[in-house]
Amino acid sequence: MGGGGLLWLIVIGALVVIPFWKLLPRFGIPAWVSLVAIIPLGALVLLWVMAFKDDGGRA
């Protein structure tokens, strides 16, 4: 993998991490946890955590 491949990996990683970085604090989770999305299946785990996080009774 050349320098161009590495650049694509960084771009795709940013496209996955940035939305989680903005959303997780709304769920009471620190923004740095969004870095877990870089790990394979990490984004899926974060989506499940956000989906089933107790919202304190808000509807």
- pLDDT tens, residue by residue, 4-56: 888 998 999 999 999 999 999 999 999 999 999 999 899 999 999 999 987 66
Q: Is this model's pTM higher than 0.85 or not? A: no
What was the pLDDT predicted at 56? Answer: 61
d(CA 31, CA 25): 6
Position 58 pLDDT exceeds 70: no
The answer on pLDDT for 59 being more than 80 is: no
User: Would you tell me the crossing angle of helices 3-23 and 42-52 to the nearest 10 degrees?
Assistant: 10
